[in-house]
Chains A and B, each alone.
Chain A
């Protein structure tokens, strides 16, 4: 690409006509489209770059005659803006129109600095060493409340006299005191579904075996005996954790239905339909002689095939 310099003399085929005062760029191609020539005091003319035959250090040679240039209409400055007034990135990338290099002196102290890369890397290392000891405290700071011991206390949830019919889910609401970090202890309302079962359903759920609950070390916390005709299900849907209900279904009869993603379970907690990955979670349950029910409030991770206790 031709690089006419500012202040270069402009020479036509017959004689010199003036000097280059401005260069015009094409905003799309980013290339020089015109030069502007100051006609030795008689105005400026805009000449297409196509008319330029050759460019040397200080002369721009045109392939036309001087009278052709003089015959052009005067250059209209108001039709243009400078590259400082318009936002076109990389506009100047392709051109070198400065009349010479623009220089500033290097400060004396900078002249003897040899290992610039070393100092740059050294700065990064120091910055990294400042940040590094902070990473672990920040992580621990944020992780403080994330893991807590399981609470295996028995909670009273109500009396079985509330249950009128066998194999029907009845919701028992109960309060649990929660102590969260610095907050004063507060009550959370929770719920559990309890059924008085027929022997058939009991057999289907327990399949002839007692249900053992163990802690992380494998120690038995409690055993639900297979001959106790009551089952308690955690109120949390094993699909994605919503609260399910006991509902009449058009074709499946009375079922547990979760309104979120429409998982359906039978009275024994088995998945009948919908996206749930496992049966409802049975909880440790105690029924006293007077019919008072107690459960251990456990919560299991939703969405997994196996039970993973989180509370």
Chain B
């Protein structure tokens, strides 16, 4: 005390405020400052870029899906006799129910779009190569989870689209050799879609998949931090070093702008194209032409091909094709050992990527054109 009085220099500029005291208390026990520093001060080789926003944007979309999804569960009832009515209640009676449901609906599309963009980018940048193989594998698992999220999610409103998309989707799984019948019955909870199917899809959608996604996304981020960002594929070490900055502030700024764009886009879609349910699910489609969600349309159209006709053709199209595709993606970093990352020096990779995108685009358009001929 005496010291303080005798030497004015020893007195701090101001007494620490309560907030500062609380923060100091927490920091002492948790090491918050060090944690925050480590989170923000991650060098990005070659500097921040708009192209790097997709990972953060995906995390943001997931957080919003979790938020809107939890809110929807306050009214939604996962039973065959109430799912449709409770969803209609959310849309027509609950204040802003239409908005939250529509946001959730469009959010799932945004998730698929961003996942495909994110994966394409990693593929084209050659960022899956050594030492990032595990990062790529966990990313593929996350891709599978996102697709399963979409598939389990659109059964829940229990309308015609829900019922038929699920019925066909499960029939496709049934085509897996040996275990297909078991998997299909396991998912349906019986021989035909009904209450048990709804219960099972509901548990998958709101419990198992979110838990799996959070665990794997955490692992994905951890592996990303361990392996460090890949950075640009061209430029000398010196050039890259000269442009390097930290995650904060430039990249975080770009990320938050990306998130804001996605948020505004999804709000706009929810406002202009709010979710409209079809008729309640029945085992008779009536005049409705069953069709999956738009991001599955290309595959739906693909299965119409003569090439995939008959039992064997169907096995090739419904099982072998997607399995081979995923196996190739899994094996990719292990057989593509060439350290060259520049996509313009990897012509095979570039051609394959373009070919896949063209096929998806063409078949999606074909499916849309086909609609007219059905009416």
Which residues of A approach B to under 8 Å, CB–CB? 27-28, 81, 84-90, 142-143, 145-148, 173, 178, 180-181, 183, 186, 188-191, 235, 239-243, 259-262, 274-278, 299, 301-305, 310-311
Q: Given the interface contacts A191-B284, A302-B171, A303-B314, does A186 sit within 8 Å of B374 by beta carbon?
A: no
Which residues of B approach A to under 8 Å, CB–CB? 34, 37-39, 41-43, 45, 79-81, 164, 167-168, 171-172, 174-175, 181-182, 185-186, 188-192, 194-196, 225-228, 237, 240-241, 244, 246, 282-286, 289-291, 300, 303-306, 308-311, 313-314, 317-318, 370, 374
Q: Given the interface contacts A28-B45, A186-B80, A189-B284, does A275 sit within 8 Å of B195 by beta carbon?
A: no
Give 22 CB contacts A-B under 8 Å: A28-B45, A28-B237, A81-B41, A86-B41, A86-B246, A146-B182, A146-B186, A180-B196, A186-B81, A188-B194, A189-B284, A240-B171, A240-B172, A242-B164, A243-B286, A259-B285, A261-B303, A275-B306, A275-B310, A275-B317, A277-B310, A303-B171
The 10 A-B pairs of least Cβ separation, nearest first, read A275-B309, A243-B285, A85-B37, A259-B289, A310-B191, A146-B185, A87-B42, A277-B311, A86-B41, A305-B311
Enumerate chain A residues within 8 angstroms of B285, measured Cβ to Cβ. Answer: 242-243, 259
A274 contacts B309, C-beta separation under 8 Å: yes
B225 contacts A84, C-beta separation under 8 Å: no
A299 contacts B191, C-beta separation under 8 Å: yes
B304 contacts A89, C-beta separation under 8 Å: no
CB distance from B200 to the nearest CB of A (A): 8
Main secondary structure of the interface of B (DSSP, over half): helix
B186 contacts A143, C-beta separation under 8 Å: yes
B175 contacts A303, C-beta separation under 8 Å: yes
Docked CA distance A143–B191 (Å): 12
Docked CA distance A145–B80 (Å): 15
Which residue of A has the minimal Cβ distance to B238?
A28
Partner of B191, one of A28, A148, A190: A148
CB distance from B328 to the nearest CB of A (A): 24
A241 contacts B171, C-beta separation under 8 Å: yes
Enumerate chain B residues within 8 angstroms of A242, measured Cβ to Cβ. Answer: 164, 167-168, 285, 290
Docked CA distance A178–B309 (Å): 33
Docked CA distance A302–B180 (Å): 12
Enumerate chain B residues within 8 angstroms of A275, measured Cβ to Cβ. Answer: 303-306, 308-310, 313-314, 317
